Chain A
Amino acid sequence: MSEKTGGGVKRREFLKVVGASSAALATAACAAEDTGKLIPYLVSPDQTVPGVSTYYATTCRECAAACGLIAETRDGRAIKLEGNPDHPLNHGALCARGQAGLQGLYNPDRFRTPMVKEGDAWKAIALDDAINRLSQAVAQGRGAAGNAVFLNQHESGSFPRFLDSWLAAFGMPAHLSVDAEADAAAMEANRRTYGVSWPSLDFKAAKLIVSFGADFLDGWGASVPQQLNYAEARAQLDAAPRFVYIGPRRSLTGLNADEWIACNPGSELAIANALAGKGSIQDAATASGADAAALQRIATELSAAKPALVLSGVTGDNALDVALAVAAINQASGAVGTTILSAQPITSFDGMSRTDQVLAAVERMRAKQVGVAFVRGVNPAHSLPRAAKFAEAFANVPVRVSFSSYPDETTELCTLIIPDLHSLESWGDAEPVRGTISLQQPTMDPVFAGTMGTADVLLAVAKKDAANAAKFAATDYRTWLFSTLPGGDKAIAAALPKGIMAGSLGARTTTVAAAPTAAPKAPAIAATQGDFFLVTYPSPVLGEGRGANKPWLQELPDPVTKIAWSSWVELHPETAQRLGVDRGDIVEVKTAQGTVRAPALPYLGIHKNAIAIPLGQGHRSAAQMATFQPKNHDPSNVQWGYGRYARALGVQALDLLPLGTDGAGGLVLTSTKASISKTGDHRTLPSTEGSARQHGRGIAQAINAADLNNPERPEHEEIPGDANHAFLPGMRSPVAADAQGELGSPTSANQGILKGMYDPADSRGMTKRRWAMTIDLARCTGCSACVTACYAENNIPTVGAYWQNASIWADERPGFNIERGREMNWLRLERYFEGNLDGKFGVDFETRFVPMLCQHCGNAPCEPVCPVYATYHAPDGLNVQVYNRCVGTRYCSNNCPYKVRYFNWFGYGESDRKQYAFPEPLNWQLNPDVTVRGKGVMEKCTFCVQRVREAENRAALEHRDVRPDEFTTACAQACPSRAITFGDAADPNWSVTQVARDRRAYHVFEELNTYTAVVYLKKVNHPAAGAAAPRG
Chain B
Amino acid sequence: MATTAAPSRTVERPNIPSAAVRFPAIKDYEQVDREIAGTLRPTLGWFAALGIAILCMLIGATTWTYQIHEGLGAAGYQPPVMWGVYIITFVFWVGIGHAGTLISAILYLFRAGFRTSIYRVSEAMTVFAVMTAGLFPILHLGRPWKFFFLIPYPNWRLIWPNPKSPLVWDVFAILTYLTISSTFLYIGLIPDIAILRDREKNPVRKAILATLSLGWRNSDREWRHFTRAYLFLAAFATPLVLSVHSVVSFDFAMALTPGWHATIFPPYFVAGAIFSGIGMVFTIAIPLRKAFKLEHYITLNDLDAASKLCLFTSMVVGLAYLTEFQVAWMSGNRFEQDYFWNRVFGQWAWAAWIMLICNMVLPLSLFSQKLRRNPTWLFILSLFINLGMWFERFVIVVPSLSHEFEPWQWGSYKPTWVDYGILLGSFGWFFMWFLLFIKQLPAMAMSEIKEVIPPRMKHPDPQLEHELDVGYPHPSETGEYGTA
Contacts and interface: CB of A to CB of B under 8 A. Distances in A.
A852 B171 CA distance: 34
Contact of B72 (A865, A886, A936): A936
Given A809-B417, A865-B166, A904-B71, A820 B335 contact: no
A890 B142 contact: yes
A937 B140 CA distance: 12
B395 to A, nearest CB: 16
Interface string A416-452: 0000000000000000000000000000000000000
B70 interface: yes
A934 B164 CA distance: 26
A696 interface: yes
Given A817-B73, A821-B79, A902-B79, A887 B143 contact: yes
A1008 B71 contact: no
B313 to A, nearest CB: 28
B175 to A, nearest CB: 14
A867 interface: yes
B79 A867 contact: no
Interface string B66-94: 10001111100111101100000000000
Interface in B151-171: 159-162, 164-168, 171
Interface in A59-114: none
A820 B78 contact: yes
B82 A697 contact: no
A695 B407 contact: yes
Interface string A864-884: 111111000000000000000
B22 to A, nearest CB: 47
A822 B77 CA distance: 9
Contacts of A517: none
A864 B164 contact: yes
Interface string B258-286: 00000000000000000000000000000
Contacts of A937: 142-143
Contacts of A866: 162, 165
B73 A905 contact: yes
Contacts of A946: none
Interface in A685-731: 689-691, 693-697, 699, 720-721, 723
B475 interface: no
Interface string B325-360: 000000111110010000000000000000000000
Contacts of A934: 143
A865 B408 contact: no
Interface residues of B, number: 54
Nearest to B400: A894
B464 to A, nearest CB: 59
Nearest to A864: B164
A88 to B, nearest CB: 37
A887 B408 contact: no
Given A864-B162, A865-B166, A897 B404 contact: yes
Given A720-B334, A890-B83, A903-B82, A689 B408 contact: yes
A425 B161 CA distance: 50
Contacts of A898: 405-406
B257 interface: yes
B82 A890 contact: yes
A1005 B79 CA distance: 20
A805 interface: yes
B476 to A, nearest CB: 45
A915 B71 CA distance: 10
Contact of B142 (A693, A806, A821, A888): A888
Interface string A289-332: 00000000000000000000000000000000000000000000
Nearest to B251: A891
Nearest to B79: A821
Contacts of B137: 889
Nearest to A807: B70
Nearest to B411: A821
Contacts of A889: 137, 140-142, 167
A808 B73 CA distance: 12
Query: Which one of B82, B147, B254, B332 has the highest number of Cβ atoms from chain A below 10 Å of its Cβ?
Result: B82
A835 to B, nearest CB: 16
B230 interface: no
A852 B407 CA distance: 12
B419 to A, nearest CB: 12
Nearest to A721: B333
A935 interface: yes
Interface string B385-418: 0000000000000000100111111110000111
B255 interface: yes
A470 interface: no
A905 B84 CA distance: 14
B408 A830 contact: yes
Given A693-B407, A807-B70, A821-B79, A897 B256 contact: yes
Contact of B162 (A694, A807, A867): A867
B150 interface: yes
Contacts of A464: none
B408 A690 contact: yes
A822 B73 CA distance: 9
A111 to B, nearest CB: 33
B146 interface: yes
Contacts of A888: 72, 141-143
A899 B80 contact: yes
B167 A865 contact: yes
Query: Which of A694, A828, A885, A935 neighbours the largest number of chain B CB atoms within 10 Å of its CB?
Result: A935
Contacts of B338: 695
B160 to A, nearest CB: 8
A902 B409 CA distance: 12
Contacts of A820: 77-79
Given A690-B408, A894-B83, A938-B142, A906 B335 contact: no
Given A721-B332, A861-B256, A865-B254, A806 B70 contact: yes
A194 B407 CA distance: 48
B149 interface: yes
Nearest to A799: B73
B74 A894 contact: no
A723 B409 CA distance: 25
Task: Count chain A CB atoms within 10 A of each CB in B166, B335, B416 and give the residue with the most.
Answer: B335
B401 A894 contact: yes
A1015 B334 CA distance: 23
B168 A690 contact: no
A934 B146 CA distance: 13
Contacts of B73: 805-806, 817, 822, 905-906, 915
Nearest to B333: A721
Interface string A895-926: 10111001111110000000100000000000
B406 A699 contact: yes
B59 to A, nearest CB: 13
- Residue of A690, A861, A902, A915 with most chain B CB atoms under a 10 A cut-off: A690
Q: Identify which of B143, B171, B254, B257 gathers the most chain A CB atoms within 10 Å of its CB.
A: B143
Given A867-B167, A906-B71, A887 B407 contact: no
Nearest to A689: B408
Nearest to B142: A888
Q: Which 9 A-B pairs have the closest CB atoms?
A: A888-B142, A936-B142, A905-B73, A690-B410, A691-B407, A899-B409, A890-B82, A867-B167, A867-B165
21 contacts: A690-B407, A697-B335, A697-B405, A807-B74, A821-B79, A821-B409, A832-B407, A867-B150, A887-B146, A887-B150, A888-B72, A889-B142, A889-B167, A890-B83, A894-B255, A898-B406, A899-B409, A903-B82, A937-B142, A937-B143, A1005-B405
Given A869-B161, A888-B141, 13 more contacts: A697-B335, A817-B73, A820-B77, A864-B165, A867-B165, A867-B171, A868-B162, A887-B150, A893-B80, A899-B80, A899-B404, A904-B71, A937-B142
Interface of A: 689-691, 693-697, 699, 720-721, 723, 805-810, 817, 820-822, 828, 830, 832, 852, 861, 864-869, 885-891, 893-895, 897-899, 902-907, 915, 934-938, 1005, 1008
